[in-house]
A and B are shown apart, each in its own frame.
Chain A
Amino acid sequence: MDALLLSLRLALCVSAILLAGGLPLAYWLAYSNWRGKFLLEAVVALPLVLPPTVLGFYVLIAMGPRGPLGKLWQTIFGHGLAFTFEGLVLASVLYSLPFAVQPLIASFESVDRKLLDASAVLGAGRLRTFWCVILPLSIPGVVTALVLSFAHTMGEFGVVLMVGGNLAGVTRTVSIDIYDHVQSLEYADANRMALVLLAISFAVLSVVYGFNRQVGRQIGHRLWTPWAAK
């Protein structure tokens, strides 16, 4: 059960961080006219196509005692970043970035530009337009982003294994726990964990699709799904 609690804690942290950072990033990607924007878009989408081991490998190198992130962390907090919960959070944030940012971009872009013009002409600045017009009309996108980052983090395996190692209570998440059980031929334990994960994933996705269907009907938005974006 330790593994499950750890995974839940990790997924919650990652979703919260991705929401906080994803909103401004997605806003910028949706509305900026900068020419080099496509480069950043490509970087954000990288985890979709990169094998988790490749991403995990570079994150591990960066977080190692000689890596820039590792050194910085060492000087600030007095201990290394690799094989810790914080390191796991950081790696998972990178890994789930497109799953949070792309639904946000898609829903920001589907807000009618004339509404933004109307808001500006009525005297509202960018921040007020964002809070009062863009965000309320992007609720399905926000929910999708939160849930996809949560579910994606719950289920990740490769990155966690590379960056976190396999320390019970610290970095041993559900998926790694299941893998361990299978390796030791403890199929009953593996099955119990796998079923819990399956049930959680299914429940969460059902709630989201049901919610988005309701809200989407009210404000006329389509649901964003990762396979539609690819």
Chain B
Amino acid sequence: MDTVGGEVNASTLSLRLQLQRSRADSAPFLLDVSLQVPAGITILFGPSGAGKSTLLDCIAGLVRPDAGRIAVSEEVLFDSQAGVNRSPQTRRIAYVFQTLALFPHLSAVENVAYGLASLPHAESTARVEEIMKAFRVDKLRARKPAEISGGERQRIALARSLVTQPRVLLLDEPLSGLDAELKSAIVEDLRAWNAERRIPILYVTHTREEVDALGERVIAMDHGRVIGTGTPFDVLEAPRHKRLAQAAGFENLLSGTVVDLREADGVMRVRLNNSHCEIEVPLGYAAAGDRVLVAIRAGDILLATSQPRDLSARNVIEGKIVAMELRGTLVRARVDCGTQFIVHLTPGAVRTLELAEGRCVWLVLKTHSCHLVEE
């Protein structure tokens, strides 16, 4: 660790890389990314197949990029022009895989101590003790991974990676199998550990919930490129990308044509495909006649059984319920207004309003719930 006068310097991971991959079974894939990851948790978000795991493999040194440069603060790990390519063994980058990759034949303690083979026994033992306490797995010691619960396995994988005092931590959806409570408990321990060390942590996920739970900074990726950077709100609430919108949980992706722009009101009117249905959406980079995609969350749509009046919401559309299905604690309704909308309701609302298939309803949409996205 870089310490100056007892203070720990926060380090930054910076990288710029290209990687062309051609596989027999799929279209050629190009990873072309340029990133700065400061100390703290940064989320790498994108649909599966976006190139997130390949990017982590490149940073860890398991995959060699075709060109580019990877550095932690001032130290260069890979530079195609200078001919530098440090081996994964010497990069001091910790990597927790999606499958965790705990050694099945070693006990919890042996797993955690695996990366400390070069240290004297006493120091290695002390460090293992300390990290296992910090991640609350010090009672498991002699147990093998197969005899340990999912959440504890994840804690041991984190402890094994962090005990080596890495300069960067890469996490590839390590908490995907856990419920929200367990997940946030582990993340809290991780934050506490990183509070004094201040290393960059790159956390890969493709689920919206994890972004909301962890979010400070988000980097959104798709098709091997960075398509957005910022706070979770910037990147996910106003997605400008169709696949990202799908991944972020926008159930309604409707294509349409711009009818006219009303710059003074900051809005434009869009006629949805195959219908007479026109909605008002926030002004975007479009001209009259352009084809656009509008993303709307199913949970952002209100439903009324009589025509509502005197509303601030600008879009009130008449339609008919064509299908309803109960999914856990919410009801998913399809409403035909010329084009079909998906609306999420609570079972209570369905009961009170006596909603059923074939019922005529009005949909209410705020202008700012309608997001323009790119194909």
Contacts and interface: CB of A to CB of B under 8 A. Distances in A.
Contact of A122 (B62, B104, B114, B146): B114
A117 B62 contact: yes
A118 interface: yes
A139 B145 CA distance: 18
A121 B88 contact: yes
Contacts of A220: 104
B105 interface: yes
A137 interface: yes
Interface in B130-168: 146, 160-161, 164
Contact of B164 (A112, A122, A137, A219): A122
Contacts of B146: 218
B117 A115 contact: no
Interface string B72-94: 00000000000000011111011
A118 B97 contact: yes
Nearest to B90: A123
B95 interface: yes
Interface of A: 112, 114-115, 117-125, 128, 132-133, 136-137, 218-220
B101 A115 contact: yes
B117 A137 contact: no
User: In which size bucket is the chain B interface?
Assistant: 20 to 34
Given A114-B97, A114-B99, A128-B117, A120 B89 contact: yes
B112 to A, nearest CB: 10
Given A120-B89, A122-B160, A122-B164, 15 more contacts: A112-B99, A117-B88, A117-B95, A118-B97, A120-B62, A121-B60, A121-B62, A122-B115, A124-B114, A132-B114, A133-B103, A137-B105, A218-B105, A218-B146, A219-B104
Contacts of B93: 121
Q: B93, B103, B117: which has the most chain A beta carbons within 10 Å?
A: B103
Interface in B297-342: none
A112 B115 contact: no
Contacts of A120: 61-62, 87-89
Contacts of B103: 115, 118-119, 132-133
B105 A136 contact: yes
Contacts of B94: 121
B95 A121 contact: yes
Contacts of B62: 117, 120-121
Nearest to A120: B88
Nearest to A133: B103
A7 to B, nearest CB: 35
Interface in B103-128: 103-105, 114-115, 117-118
B105 A219 contact: yes
A179 to B, nearest CB: 45
26 contacts: A112-B99, A112-B101, A114-B97, A114-B99, A114-B101, A115-B103, A117-B95, A118-B95, A118-B97, A118-B103, A119-B114, A120-B87, A120-B89, A121-B60, A121-B89, A121-B94, A121-B95, A122-B164, A123-B89, A123-B90, A123-B117, A123-B118, A124-B115, A124-B117, A137-B105, A220-B104
B356 to A, nearest CB: 51
A183 to B, nearest CB: 51
A198 B230 CA distance: 74
Contacts of A123: 89-90, 115, 117-118, 164
A123 B88 CA distance: 7
B104 A137 contact: yes
- 4 nearest interchain CB pairs? A122-B115, A118-B101, A114-B101, A120-B88
Q: A120, A122, A128, A132: which has the most chain B beta carbons within 10 Å?
A: A122
Q: B97, B104, B117, B161: which has the most chain A beta carbons within 10 Å?
A: B104
A119 B101 CA distance: 9
A119 B25 CA distance: 29
Interface string B221-244: 000000000000000000000000
Q: A120, A128, A220: which has the most chain B beta carbons within 10 Å?
A: A120
A209 to B, nearest CB: 21
Interface in B157-203: 160-161, 164
Contacts of A117: 60, 62, 88, 95, 97, 101
A114 B94 CA distance: 14
Interface in B203-224: none
A220 B103 CA distance: 13
A59 to B, nearest CB: 39
Contacts of B117: 123-124, 128
Q: A119, A121, A124, A136: which has the most chain B beta carbons within 10 Å?
A: A121
Contacts of B115: 122-124
Contacts of B60: 117, 121
B89 A125 contact: yes
A218 B103 CA distance: 12
A154 to B, nearest CB: 31
A123 B92 CA distance: 8
A196 B160 CA distance: 52
A114 B56 CA distance: 13
